[in-house]
Structure 1
């Protein structure tokens, strides 16, 4: 089923890479984008409002290099970050001129993710292809801390309730969790390292030869991850092997708690619902966005103490619906935090932003 309620905005000449709703305004969102599919050329950061006349631009900022991600400030309603292909992070103010109010440049490769801390609101993190995660504050020109991963790092984030934990996912197929309260020592604050490939393999793509069915999953790049907003020790990952998996960091030896299969190509982005604990949405290179239930509560897994259990067979989550309006790779997705509990925004390489209600996709 396709959503019957949908709004569209075209980012003409720029291919969308990420979309984020404002934490302050129920009708404002930002889109990070890049010309020429992010391979070469300019980037553009759009600030858009939802009005009675549809989606209208409030402002945009054009950059010299591609933009791969954006994150709204948690302390200033007009400010937002942009992650750039030249290794820089820029802070823009919608009430100021077209130039960034702050500019940080320590990463040696593309910055692929920026994320503001929702608890310690004077901090944010970034991750880069240079194999590091960095912690920053808008009050300083230099980073506060560098966390090495020794692998291309696609995504970094903070849990919703613990300001000193930082997580990231990387091209070597590992989830890493750092606790900034621990001594740096030789571990550089690393406290948990979970192999994303510790569960069963995703099934082969129909018609594609050479991939044996079943068996143990092989390492595959993890492109995105997100913390559950209610079960605050749970992380969902999205990877190149087309699977979405969830893990409980209290029991890293347990393997995946649940696995969701159905995408035909790599899953680019995953995002838990801010309203319902079991729901998440994904955006994929197969040009679809999908709505999932991890079926955690229905399985009774919440009644089992993960600290006392060893490896388990993962729960098989279910696909509830999908949106197939994008005509190129779907690269970014986010839930609206305010208003009705089903609205999402998605962007893709087709120069399109769609606002749609996930409930319209569920039969």
Structure 2
């Protein structure tokens, strides 16, 4: 006999559409939310800090601990890997801010180098003193929290870079995705990425567009999201406007006219009705992937490379607007959170 499913927990923050969520790498009950007024089109933003509390009979409650107001909408968030109370946010005004949750008012540091919206930030879990940002200006920048300027700037794509993520296996490997339909992988050990001292806003800006170690032609439309598999070092997932999530084996490489091109698609996930806005691999299993979509659902899939197609195992359809973020709990296996333009954070157990 199967056990009854635990009822989802939910928190509503009226007036603010959620864009991204992140579980703390230090506290198993703490999350942060990057949010924007007016669906992120115009107006201010908020950084929400919330806690999850177990209750009787397997129930859970979510409480809002505090929030910070920002002058522009927030699109992404990443916890520090070296300081349990610090995190960075990506803003629509091109700024990046470092916050300390023990302080009540203002960020402890701010950077303003990107010329367009900053759409993603990612903190390396190997080089724990480094984080990356990507922007609609086509650039990826690397940062050290104590430095006043970025330590490296890369012209990764000719158009918007939706996401840039460090590999959880290789400290100098970075992947990105863009409106140009490609996923690119960069090896930061190559000479062209050698930092030039980090003393100017565009330090290290000497990287041509063709310097990617691998370019994957992932879609004929925009690729909105990527994630590295936590157990298979050269495998990542991508998804976007074509409504498909795909799993790529990045070891399949051939030499093309503009560098190395390749990547073998070993699995596809068919089922979302609109664009897929977020993919995230489980930190506990190599074959489980979560996706969030504009079709107002968050879905969980299991991969089977032998048949070349993912198997749908769960649909969470409680949201009433675009679901743009999802994230697995690092500490509690099988716990998944989703956030949406409906101003709700949901936590559930698929």
Shared fold by TM > 0.5? yes
Residue aligning to 2:169: 161
Instruction: Give yes or no for contact 1:333–1:344 (8 Å, CA) kept in 2.
Output: yes
Matched, 1:192 2:192: no
Given the superposition, is the C-alpha separation of residues 12 and 179 from structure 1 closer, same or farther in structure 2, using an over 3 Å criterion? same
When the two chains are superposed, the root-mean-square deviation of aligned CA atoms in Å is 1.5
TM-score, normalised by the number of residues in structure 1: 0.85
**CA–CA separation in structure 2 for the residues paired with 1:334 and 1:3:** 19
Match of 2:130 among 108, 123, 129: 123
Instruction: Give yes or no for contact 1:3–1:356 (8 Å, CA) kept in 2.
Output: no
Match of 2:344 among 315, 338, 352: 352
Residue aligning to 1:38: 40
Higher relative contact order (CA 8 A, sep 6+): 1
More deviation in 264-273 or 182-191?
182-191
TM-score, normalised by the number of residues in structure 2: 0.88
Residue aligning to 1:17: 19
Give the Å deviation of 1:336. Answer: 0.4
Matched, 1:261 2:262: no
Matched, 1:99 2:112: no
Instruction: Give yes or no for contact 2:216–2:263 (8 Å, CA) kept in 1.
Output: no
Task: State the SS of the aligned residue for 2:251.
Answer: coil
Instruction: Give yes or no for contact 1:3–1:323 (8 Å, CA) kept in 2.
Output: no
Encode CA deviations 1:215-245: one digit per residue, 9 max, x unaligned: xxxx110111000000011010011000000
Give the Å deviation of 1:356. Answer: 0.3
For structure 1, which runs of at least 5 residues remain unmatched after alignment? 198-218, 300-313, 359-363
**CA–CA separation in structure 1 for the residues paired with 2:303 and 2:86:** 34
**CA–CA separation in structure 2 for the residues paired with 1:324 and 1:25:** 28
Instruction: Give yes or no for contact 2:75–2:118 (8 Å, CA) kept in 1.
Output: yes
**CA–CA separation in structure 2 for the residues paired with 1:172 and 1:25:** 37
Encode CA deviations 1:296-328: one digit per residue, 9 max, x unaligned: 3xx2xxxxxxxxxxxxxx811111110000000
For structure 2, which runs of at least 5 residues remain unmatched after alignment? 56-60, 193-205, 254-261
Instruction: Give yes or no for contact 1:117–1:163 (8 Å, CA) kept in 2.
Output: yes
- The alignment covers a number of residue pairs equal to 319
Match of 1:50 among 49, 52, 57: 52
Identify, as 1 or 2, the structure richer in strand.
2
